[in-house]
Amino acid sequence: MVTLTKEVNIAGIKLGGNNLPLIIAGPCVIENEDVTLHTAQKLKDICSSAGLSFVFKCSYDKANRTSIKSFRGPGIEKGLRILSDIKSRLNIPVISDVHSIAEVKTASEVLDVLQIPAFLCRQTDLISAAAKTGKPVNIKKGQFLAPWDVKNIIEKFTAEGNHNLFITERGASFGYNNLVVDFRAFPIMRSFGYPVIFDVTHSLQLPGGQGASSGGQREFAEPLARAAVAVGVDGLFFEVHPEPEKALCDGPNMIKLDSFLNLLKTIKTLHGIVKEA
């Protein structure tokens, strides 16, 4: 039997508890308004067809790219304007990364969920600032942390009186330019009582694997997603793009938009089997 976690409310969507897995999906970074809006609309329709709740993700700034020449996005001002437009036009919640205390207040005025990237997951002041907004916050577990280390992150966050928190697993460093997913991590992290998301596509990244950019292995997205649902997670995180081979960031590990519905149908079926087991 899979342990239940507390419920977190995201703009009326319930994450955790006894609910179906939440889908957080979107392109890696805001490339332009047209691609971002098109992808958000398609993902909303796909998740609706699969019967799964959806939060749209897209970064206004990717501050930890491999190379100084890598595309980072439009920046906070233009990026939040695009996300605000998508949020109001499509009536969907939105999530994006915050990288510094200075960004938190401005971002919280638009975003339904603030996300703290994996490399910043131990930054106490950033965690505290995000918690003080009262908003739901997704903290990605660093590739350098053990699953039980998440307890310290949770305590930092909840010390501010905010319990609208969930944790995302995105693999652990395994030698050079590779990540591996330890599926023991999911029940360990969920034992602390907060919802746990599995970041499927970032776990397939090969950090710096192409020299000046990261590689990836999107062909393993479905087996890893299936395994995570079988172990028990509260949601799944995917980077999805209409044409991953042309994406300006994380193309090698992103899922093609037109193949996403079948994957979600599989996930929902498996979740039902696990729930009844």
Q: Is residue 63 part of a domain?
A: yes
- Coil, helix or strand for 210? coil
Residue 198 CA, chain-centre distance (Å), reads 8
- Coil, helix or strand for 234? coil
H or E stretch covering 25? strand 22-26
Q: What is the CATH number of the domain that holds 84?
A: 3.20.20.70
- Per the structure, the count of domains in the chain is 1
Question: Are 158 and 187 a contacting pair, CB within 8 Å?
Answer: no
Q: Is residue 263 part of a domain?
A: yes
Q: What is the pLDDT along the chain (277 residues), one digit of tens a residue?
A: 567 899 999 999 999 999 999 999 999 999 999 999 999 999 999 999 999 999 999 999 988 777 788 889 999 999 999 999 999 999 999 999 999 999 999 999 999 999 999 999 999 999 999 999 999 999 999 999 999 999 999 999 999 999 999 999 999 999 888 999 999 999 999 999 999 999 999 999 877 656 656 667 888 999 999 999 999 999 999 999 999 999 888 788 889 999 999 999 999 999 999 988 7
* Domain limits for position 254: 8-276
pLDDT at residue number 211: 62
Placement of tokens 């079948």 in the chain: 262
- d(CA 24, CA 85) in angstroms, rounded, equals 18
Q: Is residue 148 part of a domain?
A: yes
Q: Is residue 158 part of a domain?
A: yes
- d(CA 168, CA 198) in angstroms, rounded, equals 6
Q: Is residue 142 part of a domain?
A: yes
Q: Is residue 56 part of a domain?
A: yes
Residue 106 CA, chain-centre distance (Å), reads 20
Q: Is residue 3 part of a domain?
A: no
Q: Between the CA of residue 112 and those of 10, 43, 167, what are the distances in Å? A: 7, 17, 16
Q: Is residue 2 part of a domain?
A: no
